[in-house]
Amino acid sequence: MTITASVQLVGVFVVFASLIVPALAAVAQPRRRLPLAWLTGAAGYALGLAGSMLLDLPTGAAIVCGLAMAAVVVATSLRPGAAA
């Protein structure tokens, strides 16, 4: 019911990106999966909201783009075998 209410409130694209993108970014880290997903989600929302405010962009699309950017950073910098 919560998912249904949030879809009606903010839209399908934002809700499902918020559910899928952080989990997808952290899937390669078995021991730190949950904290990385939280970090990716929080950073993505912060990037999206800041971009929306500063660049006068639509908020939903900016949040999805911010989530994608944060996920790419997390997935590429913390992948197994990457130089530390």
pLDDT, tens digit (0-9, with 9 covering 90-100), for 3-22: 778 777 788 889 999 999 99
> Could you read off the pLDDT of 53-76 as tens digits, one per residue?
999 999 999 999 999 999 999 988
Asked if the structure places residue 55 within a domain, the reply is yes
> Could you read off the pLDDT of 35-48 as tens digits, one per residue?
999 999 999 999 99
Asked if the structure places residue 2 within a domain, the reply is no
Query: In total, how many domains does the chain have?
Result: 1
State which residues form the domain around 26: 10-77
As a whole number of angstroms, the distance between CA 84 and CA 66 comes to 24
As a whole number of angstroms, the distance between CA 74 and CA 80 comes to 12
Residue bearing tokens 């800041």: 50
Asked if the structure places residue 30 within a domain, the reply is yes
Asked if the structure places residue 59 within a domain, the reply is yes
Asked if the structure places residue 82 within a domain, the reply is no
